[in-house]
Structure 1
């Protein structure tokens, strides 16, 4: 941890971390009428099929990845907030199968706060980018009553090795690289109800880069059919995006989900982030949940994650190799079931 500060950053935020995202249903309505007149053929991924980042091909061997992400404080320690926000922003590059080149700081900050607090936030972000093998190349800042921090990130990827949300196939195994529950735990922390060890586990997860998880998926080549990262739209929200792009249904085994320590306890204590209700509103009508899965388990399924893991649909033959490696704790959490022609027929089931 860094220097001691009397200010609780989370008290200055109306929503913490990725729970501050606009709901997926509202966002879809916002971008629906946007139609660009000219789209260069080099833009491999843009608004046409919305993914985790934009990809622009510059040569036969290289394509540039561009993405941005920022949010209000999810923890009180300035350095840790910066590290989490940066790790979360970098994740979009990894979700596309790329490598990080550089990043630009994005800052909205109250001028009433001591400048040393912001310096620590930026240091946390800078060191996360350094761990990713990139560099901070500049930034932009504005004055704002609510603090916010994040990055605009530039990465690189081979045009034929891009990981996308679309492509999942019936029979694929669904895997996840990080435990769920950051939204519930950070909300408990904001309310002064979290156990120190539980918060430490959440911070460790949120500051762990998805770099190696991405590399393992890219190394698997065509056996990985689709990939994304799990952030503010929750496990089911991001699974719905993949299912929609792939035109498939999915089935999840709730007992197989990796969870952070004592997450159910915080759900039972009512530490549900505001983003949970938005996630239910966005995709709840397309989800079938078994009767034995109660409201607290459902709070976990729709919990908005901050800097969550990579979620992928893989060929079953890859699972043996992926499960035997010890670098990244991928968990098998479900499977892709039916192929459908009508998006309204897409169902996510949880058993």
Structure 2
């Protein structure tokens, strides 16, 4: 008798962007890594913790290059492939670029997962890339202990329209395009505590492409963009604060929340990555008195394929809100601001 197919999540020690190395550990690793020699055509490299590298091709084009992969956070192989591909393409959109093609990165426990299940993962990734209008033009695969899937993603943008996480200015309004709570919902799924509506909301959010990116790059009032993923809203806001040398203020109750995430957080559901994230921020993130632990958990919650965090001048804020909501992001909210001060995050 053929043995039953194991659940994808049973083969992975972590899942989604919660697999990311903690930000403080990553900084320590990179601090010991020799810096590359300067290259005149390298517009954005590894020095700013940005979402992708950018290489100037000519006066009118720059190549955006990134890679992202992780282990499954859900058991459906097709949806796992969709989520991983959406997440990888997000970094291209966050730089203001339009994707042009991708390469698949595949690590699967051959012999433990069937060829049919592995094929469904790849089909899911291909479906997302087709929706984005780009091919998967090749890739690389290995036999690994845990299932891993992701993409190398490449895109094009005008060199003068590259969006980074370091261009925010005091006075800017911060807009977040997606609801938070992905990590809490995925943790509840693994615990068997996530209902059908919560699961549907989880899939809908993590498979929505961050397509406003190229349109945002054409708006002069938009000064900085990053996507919110494994380090949580506060972690990626901190990267933005450090990049621009100013203080980012976040309004604790301003973001939208995925259905059920608040109730689950109040019931104590959280990810280990949320705890790790909070520890990694050090003294550079402060909470106003009275903010509950469950609210902090949501603000540090690792987001797989999360939304775009946009720093925009006040006069352009409504234009950005109209743009993103018109492109299918009804959960977009004004979540804070950039003010003068040292590079830190203050939650009010």
Compute the TM-score of the two structures, normalised by the length of structure 2: 0.95
Superposition deviation, residue 35 in structure 1 = 3.1
Q: Aligned with 2:161: secondary structure?
A: coil
Tell me the distance in 1 between the aligned counterparts of 2:143 and 2:120: 17
Equivalence map 1:1-351=2 (5 Å): 6-36=5-35, 38-111=37-110, 112-211=112-211, 213-220=212-219, 222-325=220-323, 326-327=326-327, 328-329=329-330, 330-340=332-342, 346-351=343-348
1:252-274 CA deviation, whole Å, 9 max, x = no partner? Answer: 11221111011122213332112
Aligned length: 340
- Structure 1 stretches of at least 4 aligned residues deviating more than 3 Å after TM superposition: none
1:33-87 CA deviation, whole Å, 9 max, x = no partner? Answer: 3334533210111123331000111111111111000000011100000000000
Q: Which moved more, 1:280-289 or 1:70-79?
A: 280-289
5+ unaligned residues in a row in structure 1: which ranges? 341-345
Superposition deviation, residue 166 in structure 1 = 0.6
Tell me the distance in 2 between the aligned counterparts of 1:37 and 1:254: 39
Root-mean-square deviation (CA, aligned residues, Å) is 1.4
The question of whether the paired residues in 1 share the 8 Å contact of 2:275 and 2:297 is answered with no
The question of whether the paired residues in 2 share the 8 Å contact of 1:45 and 1:53 is answered with yes
Tell me the distance in 1 between the aligned counterparts of 2:100 and 2:133: 7
1:84-143 CA deviation, whole Å, 9 max, x = no partner? Answer: 000000000001000111111111110121010110000000111111111001111111
Distance change (3 Å), C-alpha of 1:168 and 1:144:
same
5+ unaligned residues in a row in structure 2: which ranges? none
Compute the TM-score of the two structures, normalised by the length of structure 1: 0.94
